[in-house]
Amino acid sequence: MTERERILKLLEEGKITADEAVRLLEALGKSSSAAEPLRRGVEYVNTLFRNVFRALPLMLKEVIQNPLEEPVDLTLEVGEGFTLRHVGGDLTLRFVDRPKAHLQARGYVHRNGQTVEVVSEESLLEFPETARFHLELAGGDLRAEGKTAGGLVEYVGGDLSWRLTGLTGDLEIRGETGDAEIHLPQDLFRRIEIVALVQQGTLRVPEGAEPVESDTWHHPGSGPLLKIRVVFGDLVIQTP
């Protein structure tokens, strides 16, 4: 496989964006005429955040037409398939021992069934620790803390910091660009299984743990699975 084919394969798999693919092709000495069709023909929706950016134009239009001067304060019923799409700012995520979620934001919030779309400078989401979730975050940092039943987190354009105090179901974290730090208590670290992959960056694991092999690391355990993939950025897994 040539370098050009490898770059296009990474793009097809959603591991790099269209702009990143163009820059890599140009760095290989390809002419701009070869790279420009790729730039025009492949949109950012081919990355793992295709859903966020499909909704973004309508979301921004709503913000312009209906600006919200006061903070948004919502209590949300949480069912199967709950998804939060957050664009433009930082998100603090706290897991709580309550049956309903509570969202505070300043900006645009739209709900369609179990999907909530947010454009906000800064938001706070308190989420039931017994419910699973899907979070898509673009353009801001994610700070999370607490015990969770697991789910899927996808982020780009910001960093992730998570103090995970408990895990009762599988949790997957996918980072396109940005660093990630995962803080685990010793008892949880010993119990859960962890699979980590960093494609372009540094992977650091707790002292005395299984050694890192190339860009991957596996920590065996009998409990739920914590799976983390960072494409461009560093990943640090820490214990006290």
The reported pLDDT for the residue numbered 42 is 41
Helix (H, G, I), strand (E, B) or coil at 12: helix
Residue 44 binned pLDDT confidence (cut-offs 50, 70, 90): very low
Would you say residue 119 has pLDDT above 70?
yes
Cα 108 to Cα 65: distance, rounded to the nearest angstrom: 11
For the segment 78-99, the average pLDDT, to the nearest whole number, is 91
**Strand-pair partners of 183:** 163, 238
Mean pLDDT over 105-111 rounds to 84
* pLDDT over 50 (residue 36): no
Question: How much of the chain exceeds pLDDT 70, in percent?
Answer: 74
Return the minimum-mean-pLDDT range out of 56-60, 183-187, 188-192.
Answer: 56-60
Quickly state the pLDDT bin for 16 (edges 50, 70, 90). confident
Question: What integer is the mean pLDDT of 8-22?
Answer: 69
**Which of the given ranges, 11-20, 34-43, 109-118, has the highest pLDDT on average?**
109-118
19-55: string of b/e by CB count within 10 Å (b at 16+)? Answer: ebbbebbeeeebeeeebeebeeebebebbbbebbbeb
Average of pLDDT values for 28-42? 45
Task: For residue 136, give the nearest of 112, 110, 116 by alpha carbon.
Answer: 116
pLDDT band at residue 80, thresholds of 50, 70 and 90?
confident
Mean pLDDT of 177-197: 95
Report pLDDT for 142.
97
Where is mean pLDDT largest: 12-21, 30-39, 104-113? Answer: 104-113
What is the sign, positive or negative, of the torsion defined by CA atoms of 114, 49, 183, 169?
A: positive
Place of tokens 């214990």: 239
> What is the spatial distance between Cα 38 and Cα 56, in angstroms, rounded to a whole number?
22
Question: What is the helix (H) or strand (E) element at residue 235, kind and residue range?
Answer: strand 235-238
- pLDDT at residue 208, rounded to an integer: 80
